[in-house]
A and B are shown apart, each in its own frame.
Chain A
């Protein structure tokens, strides 16, 4: 069987410094990473270890101080902000710790948003279908404030998977949830991931959650290492 060998995400010599009152602060330092298509990768690390910064760089939400990121073979440094946005459109999904649902939109409308942005004519039907998939058909017309934390995250997951992205970034997806609700969300995330064959890049400090991924990397003091088997 022919296997796609080109990594969907590749980082070479990635570094990030920010200026702070105490002077230049190094958050990431010399990170090399390649993630293959369909892989499920967990980046583990304590708070402040730089893992969210890394996720931002890999997704093209921010630019590195040095080094480069390739997303599906395209060097992000060659694109401007709009170019990077276009690259993400319809191909990259996100699930955030704080859900990031738009408070003014109903659950259904939140799920529709990325589909509409991608110009999908069947946005409403597809969103309804995905909501059904996460078990929230009854909540479709509810606003985020009317949903529990777990429900909000399920809507966020539906929103992330609805356009069937090739790549999904998840930033502490259970960070704001209790263990039981968190488990429901984990199950859902990995079920959809399995169904769609999405590449998953998961950032967490939760070893239990990381355990669902075949590959685990550990972030420490701005450097990345493969977890010892």
Chain B
């Protein structure tokens, strides 16, 4: 028999097994599995692209090139050629005059098309309600922000002098999506038309201008343009590429978490699916022992058996993969419509990108989970035809699942796209599997002793569990794994998402006051107190540049990481404090004691320390206002940047840098309807800068909300996969149960007794699996919360109650559905093997 013949026979065998219903459960598990994975894939791909696009609004583009020199036109030409939209902004500081008054402002000149993502907001008068606008300042006119209005004392319609030009004040710029990466070093804003810049004569050779080229378009076009840019000499010296992930650390944190949540949902779907496939495949294999023994009798070699089932399996994987992907596609599409997801904004059309992973998932999951029992078939001895008690020669059945484990690991890595998450989930699942197996073993042993003390139906049920020993353990582990996944997703998910939401509460600080002069600190604090903003605490801030770490002079060129380069190039905000802030956690070393006052010590933010290679005990040198200040690192702190509280990379003890020029800073929550208070504050303290980050906060909150929604929808598919597992687990012992029930009925047992016995057995199995699953879910949830998502997590005792209930009801119902024909069929039909 040659290879094409083997293939042909394998495919015919597949057709026969499909027709006869032998593969129904396996195919069902597989299709649900792939549907879950592909629905997650299609859906998260769409959500992800929608989120990226939204996040792009905060950059006003998908991609930005920044430079301190004018950017060559070749860059925008190449972008135009690739169908990208392009805009330019030039930013530079300049003094603006209005009659007798002057102010240093940050000028921003923009070209038509700006902003490419997001929208500007304007208002007629300072602190009046702002509205979205598609307009830009017309040539000859400018928009000022509220602070500049206050500093210059102008009104709409007045004229201001900008360099050599006199321009008309035409509106208030209330919001620009891409306003500044460094929130705390902004001068007030003046927005003008790029066409007006030459006449001002402000931009000349050597001027300090921040040139930005904004790009937006399809991911493919952007990727193509980026590839074009790779060629040497195309990106000018000193120019830097920036996408949304680098632009806004707060958003990056939100997006990263979003990706982890969605990745987790996909990962859980994969595991649940795998368990379902494994159980169904085992049953399929068991049912083929006799057939394989006959085939061996008729001369099929082991290699032939392996090839036949291997090819059949591969074809099944492809078939299930295609069907599942189609179902997943339809599912996500239907769900998107049904739930009116993102009613406020359009969701990008699904891309074909998730199709390949979905198909591959089908094949890999089939091969990984179903191949071990099926390939084991080749070891069925031909003598089984005469002695039905003989099974495959079993070296160690578990070793066959190394392939399954490898398959899971591969799929996890692929789906989670993160080693830590994948490892944690894999280790967690493996650990949970062991816990479930050990627990199930102990409990089934214990149950065996109980059966003498219960009624006849319970005895029948308990005896079955105890007698099936190994099979019962396998069943509890399988059902438990499915339940665990469901529990992690339902309850732990709720806690995790609530934890995430809580990390950005409704009253998170939404206003910053910066540049508070030392002399006005008390007055500003008093102003805030008297106006009912008591929570605002003022912190000193000194700007300084890090120049040495130990003996090493710090230079951007030493760091390959662009973030490190940027950090080194800019000035740090330094502060001093006696106590660490409430959301700071010391991760290494010790916080300054009271005796540390005046001692040359510093506490450094842990991420910064890692990025720049700063260690505990290192001596750092800062250049502050022309002086060198040396200090030893005595502690590293983790900081919750996305809490929007005032925080500092570097903190000294009091009495070290206090004599340096400092300004004070504070943040607090002020409801939108009380914004007028800020106008009063600015009038009383013109030097103080007000930063309104409400829009940014709203964006981050919106992203969180949408991801929460997305995860909840995605969860439905995982739920379906979990149910498939449950059903497959019940089906696995169905044949045996049917035979036994028929036998017992033949011996005269009433139907009710058998039904009670079956229900008792399923209920106890479900209870065991549910309780064990809850314990495993608690451990896994704790691991996920603390290790991946960085929240504190305490399992709710309800978890165990839910687990037990879900187990008893779920397994009971699935068991009853799966075996109810046992009672409806005449015993003879069952006994004859029908």
Task: With CB as the reference atom, state the residue of chain B lying closest to A145.
Answer: B834
| A88 & B299 in contact (Cβ 8 Å cutoff) | yes
Are B385 and A85 neighbours in the complex by a CB distance under 8 Å?
no
Report if A109-B386 is in contact (Cβ < 8 Å); known contacts: A104-B291, A114-B298. Answer: no
Most buried by A among B5, B22, B287, B294: B294
Residue-wise, chain A 92-113 has the 8 Å CB interface mask toward B (1 for contact) of 1110101010111110010001
In addition to A81-B381, A116-B12, 5 A-B residue pairs with Cβ atoms within 8 Å of each other are A62-B381, A86-B299, A93-B298, A104-B16, A117-B295
Q: Is A190 an interface residue (CB 8 A)?
A: no
Contact A89 B386 (CB under 8 A): no
Q: How far, in Å, is B385 (CB) from chain A's closest CB?
A: 5
Q: How many residues of B contact A (CB 8 A)?
A: 35
Query: Are A100 and B299 interface neighbours, CB within 8 A?
Result: no
Flag if A102 contacts B299 (CB, 8 Å): no
Interface string of B378-395 (1 = CB under 8 A from A): 000111011110000000
With contacts A94-B297, A104-B22 taken as known, whether A82 is within 8 angstroms of B303 at the C-beta atoms is yes
Interface residues on A, range: 35 or more
CB atoms of A61 and B386 under 8 A apart: yes
Contact with A along B129-169 (1 / 0, CB 8 A): 00000000000000000000000000000000000000000
The yes or no answer to B290 lying at the interface (CB within 8 A) is: yes
- Inter-subunit contact A113/B299 (CB<8 Å): no
A56 in the interface (beta carbon within 8 A): yes
| B20 in contact with A143 (CB, 8 Å) | yes
Specify which chain A residues have a CB less than 8 angstroms from the CB of B296 in the assembled complex.
Answer: 85
CA A87 to CA B17, docked complex, whole Å? 28
**Residue in A94, A102, A106, A117 whose beta carbon sits within 8 Å of that of B300 in the complex:** A117
For the complex formed, measure the closest distance between the CB of A78 and the CB atoms of chain B, giving whole angstroms.
16
B298 adjacent to A88 (CB under 8 Å): yes
Q: Is the CB of A94 within 8 A of B385?
A: yes
The yes or no answer to A52 lying at the interface (CB within 8 A) is yes
Which chain A residue lies CB-closest to B296? A85
Sample (18) of A-B pairs whose CB atoms are under 8 Å apart: A52-B386, A55-B386, A56-B386, A56-B387, A61-B297, A85-B296, A86-B299, A88-B299, A93-B298, A94-B385, A102-B290, A103-B291, A105-B20, A114-B298, A114-B299, A117-B298, A119-B2, A144-B833
Residues of A near B302 (CB, < 8 A) are 81-82, 85
Give residues of chain B (1-50) contacting chain A, Cβ–Cβ below 8 Å: 1-2, 5, 9, 12, 16-17, 20-22
**When chains A and B are docked, how far (Å) is the Cα of A9 from the Cα of B299?**
17
With A117-B298, A118-B299 as contacts: A61 and B382 at CB distance below 8 Å: yes
Residue of B nearest to A105 (CB): B16
A90, A104, A171: residue with the most chain B Cβ atoms closer than 10 Å: A104
State in angstroms the CA–CA spacing of A119 and B20 once bound together: 23
B385 A61 Cβ-Cβ under 8 A = yes
Nearest CB of chain B from residue A229's CB, rounded to whole Å: 30
Give min CB distance, B697 to chain A, whole Å.
Answer: 62
Interface residues of B (CB under 8 A from A): 1-2, 5, 9, 12, 16-17, 20-22, 287, 290-291, 293-304, 381-383, 385-388, 832-834
Chain A, 61-93, contact with B by CB distance < 8 Å: what is the 0/1 string? Answer: 110000000000000000001100111111111
Q: How far is the CA of A98 from the CA of B382 in the complex (A)?
A: 15
Check if A100 sits within 8 Å of B294, measured CB to CB.
Answer: yes
List chain B residues, Cβ under 8 A from A114: 298-299
A131 at the interface (CB under 8 A from B): no
* Least CB separation from B2: chain A residue: A119
**Contact partners of A61 in chain B: CB under 8 A:** 297, 381-383, 385-386
A113 with B298: CB separation less than 8 A? yes
- Which residues in B have their C-beta under 8 angstroms from that of A52? 386-387
A59 at the interface (CB under 8 A from B): yes
Chain A residues closer than 8 Å to B381, beta-carbon distance = 61-62, 81
Give the distance in Å from the alpha carbon of A82 to the alpha carbon of B307 in the complex. Answer: 14
